[in-house]
């Protein structure tokens, strides 16, 4: 494992969440694969082409750390259990028609498969695609993985599966999640962040989606810590958690849920850093105040670093570097500047099939995403200079 210093190049750390919009030709290839018009190898060649473009253009933004844009993945939530969103290549002991993961503000929904029995096993791990991507990169890479709390929704909300208790499932699930993180580091990821978008949604109490009213947030925190606590303090400085109100088809699922429902609980996670949606929050100072109040300087041996979102991933408007700098300088009034970082509000396209309606097309949304990332990097450098945070001198 290398020794990436997140202050390299920008003084204040800056890191993407993970996904980028898939090009139209890749989205068409997914549909063609589901319709059995092309082979798995052919789909993979489209994925590889999009990964290469994501890495080349990601590096051109000047970012100190990049992702591969998750172009190989069906989605941020389901990459380990299905090849496509339509359910081609579903893992063993799963079938279609599980709980809604979320119902979004524009009315569309995303549904999970359901577990039919045990054991629960991943069919692919993050490292499977990272191993291929990392060969193409000259900059450090990060990897996003899914939280156990999301996949816990595969188990029936009420009752137990015959022959496979919830406790047995949770043990299998935690083992798979731990393996996913360890293998990503072994494949060369410098940082691994855990996607926890269901955290804020967990207090929504949407009657159309019963799990959101079942008081699951404390359970989610406990389950995620069961995995996080398997790592040493040194390892956890490189393990982050991402929170957001969702992001799909340029719509969100829990922006109307008060951030104050989540934040005091969120920082109970013993992670070393947090990638936090922020730019799209309307009332910003109270959020910064809560982050400053609830983040822990000692989370079982690691100080929690808060990367705040400075770009809105649902909007085609490109934030200027100056605007981003101003947000970060303001944040430093509430969060110690040596514990501050910047990120995007969310992945730019967490699901493989995403028309990006606010943008007009996924191809245009890709262009916008790279511009936003370039400005995030530039604005972060400006803020570091203004706050007197130097770039470390190379050894």
Pick between residue 38 and residue 252 the one whose CB is nearest to Zn ion.
252
Pick between residue 17 and residue 321 the one whose CB is nearest to Zn ion.
17
Spatial separation of the C-alpha atoms in residues 5 and 331, rounded to whole Å: 22
Q: By three-state DSSP, how is residue 360 classified?
A: coil
Shortest separation between residue 297's beta carbon and Zn ion, angstroms: 26
Pick between residue 129 and residue 197 the one whose CB is nearest to Zn ion.
197
Pick between residue 244 and residue 325 the one whose CB is nearest to Zn ion.
244
**Contact (CB, 8 A) for 351 and 295:** no
Element of type H or E holding 33: helix 24-34
Spatial separation of the C-alpha atoms in residues 340 and 329, rounded to whole Å: 10
The tokens for 139 are: 């900059």
Shortest separation between residue 329's beta carbon and Zn ion, angstroms: 24
Shortest separation between residue 79's beta carbon and Zn ion, angstroms: 15
Pick between residue 71 and residue 197 the one whose CB is nearest to Zn ion.
197
Binding span for Zn ion by CB under 5 A among 66-74, 89-97, 180-188, 192-200 = 192-200
Binding span for Zn ion by CB under 5 A among 108-116, 238-246, 278-286, 332-340 = 238-246
Shortest separation between residue 72's beta carbon and Zn ion, angstroms: 18
Element of type H or E holding 255: none
Shortest separation between residue 192's beta carbon and Zn ion, angstroms: 16
Spatial separation of the C-alpha atoms in residues 195 and 187, rounded to whole Å: 19
Q: How far is CA 368 from CA 52, 205, 238, 316, 319, in A?
A: 18, 34, 28, 6, 10
Pick between residue 173 and residue 252 the one whose CB is nearest to Zn ion.
252
Q: Is 137 in the site for Zn ion (CB under 5 A)?
A: no
Spatial separation of the C-alpha atoms in residues 274 and 164, rounded to whole Å: 34
Pick between residue 38 and residue 150 the one whose CB is nearest to Zn ion.
150
Spatial separation of the C-alpha atoms in residues 200 and 246, rounded to whole Å: 9
State the number of binding residues for Zn ion (CB under 5 A): 3
Q: How far is CA 134 from CA 60, 91, 169, 212, 289, in A?
A: 16, 26, 32, 37, 38
Shortest separation between residue 69's beta carbon and Zn ion, angstroms: 14
Binding span for Zn ion by CB under 5 A among 3-11, 38-46, 100-108, 343-351 = 343-351
Q: In the set 103, 130, 346, 374, which binds Zn ion (CB under 5 A)?
A: 346
Binding span for Zn ion by CB under 5 A among 4-12, 60-68, 156-164, 193-201 = 193-201
Pick between residue 244 and residue 269 the one whose CB is nearest to Zn ion.
244
Site string for Zn ion, 194-233 (x = CB under 5 A): ---x------------------------------------
Shortest separation between residue 27's beta carbon and Zn ion, angstroms: 20
**Cis previous bond, 102, omega within 30:** no
Q: In the set 102, 137, 150, 244, which binds Zn ion (CB under 5 A)?
A: 244
Element of type H or E holding 371: helix 362-386
Pick between residue 197 and residue 212 the one whose CB is nearest to Zn ion.
197
Binding span for Zn ion by CB under 5 A among 84-92, 109-117, 214-222, 241-249 = 241-249
Shortest separation between residue 205's beta carbon and Zn ion, angstroms: 21
Spatial separation of the C-alpha atoms in residues 206 and 253, rounded to whole Å: 10
Spatial separation of the C-alpha atoms in residues 34 and 22, rounded to whole Å: 16
Residues in the chain: 395
Pick between residue 244 and residue 383 the one whose CB is nearest to Zn ion.
244
φ/ψ of residue 118, rounded to 5: -110, 170
Shortest separation between residue 165's beta carbon and Zn ion, angstroms: 31
Site string for Zn ion, 5-44 (x = CB under 5 A): ----------------------------------------
Q: How far is CA 334 from CA 7, 166, 258, 327, in A?
A: 20, 41, 19, 12
- Whether the CA torsion 339, 76, 178, 51 is positive or negative: it is negative
b/e map 221-259, b = 16+ CB within 10 Å: bebbbbbbeebeeebbbbbbbbbbbbbbbbbbbbbebeb
Element of type H or E holding 307: strand 305-309
Shortest separation between residue 245's beta carbon and Zn ion, angstroms: 8
Residues engaged in binding Zn ion (CB under 5 A): 197, 244, 346
């Amino acid at each position: 494992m290398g020794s990436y210093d997140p202050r390299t190049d920008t003084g204040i750390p800056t890191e993407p969440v993970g996904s980028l919009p898939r090009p139209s030709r890749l989205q068409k290839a997914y549909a063609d694969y589901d319709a059995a018009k092309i082979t798995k190898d052919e789909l993979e060649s489209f994925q590889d082409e999009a990964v290469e473009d994501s890495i080349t253009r990601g590096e051109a933004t000047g970012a100190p750390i990049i992702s591969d844009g998750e172009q190989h993945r069906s989605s941020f939530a389901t990459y380990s259990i299905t090849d496509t969103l339509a359910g081609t290549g579903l893992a063993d002991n799963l079938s279609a028609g599980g709980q809604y993961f979320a119902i979004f503000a524009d009315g569309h929904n995303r549904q999970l498969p359901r577990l039919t029995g045990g054991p629960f096993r991943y069919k692919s791990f993050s490292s499977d695609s990272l191993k291929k991507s990392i060969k193409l990169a000259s900059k450090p890479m990060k990897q996003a993985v899914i939280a156990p709390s999301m996949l816990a929704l595969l188990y029936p909300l009420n009752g137990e599966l015959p022959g496979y208790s919830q406790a047995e499932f949770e043990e299998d699930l935690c083992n798979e999640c731990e393996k996913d993180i360890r293998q990503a580091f072994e494949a060369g990821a410098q940082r691994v962040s855990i996607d926890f978008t269901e955290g804020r949604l967990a207090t929504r109490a949407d009657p159309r989606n019963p799990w959101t009213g079942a008081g699951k947030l404390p359970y989610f925190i406990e389950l995620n810590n069961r995995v996080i606590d398997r790592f040493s303090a040194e390892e956890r400085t490189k393990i982050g958690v991402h929170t957001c109100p969702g992001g799909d088809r340029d719509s969100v699922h829990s922006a109307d849920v008060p951030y104050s429902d989540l934040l005091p609980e969120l920082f109970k996670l013993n992670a070393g850093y947090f990638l936090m949606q922020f730019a799209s929050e309307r009332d910003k100072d109270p959020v910064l105040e809560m982050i400053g109040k609830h983040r822990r300087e000692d989370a079982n041996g690691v100080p929690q670093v808060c990367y705040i979102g400075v770009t809105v991933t649902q909007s085609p408007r490109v934030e200027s570097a100056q605007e981003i700098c101003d947000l970060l300088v303001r944040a430093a009034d509430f969060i110690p500047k040596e514990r501050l970082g910047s990120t995007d509000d969310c992945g730019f396209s967490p699901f493989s099939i995403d028309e990006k309606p606010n943008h007009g097309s996924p191809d245009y949304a890709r262009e916008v995403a790279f511009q936003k990332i370039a400005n995030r990097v530039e604005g972060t450098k400006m803020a570091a200079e203004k706050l007197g945070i130097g770039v470390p001198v190379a050894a």
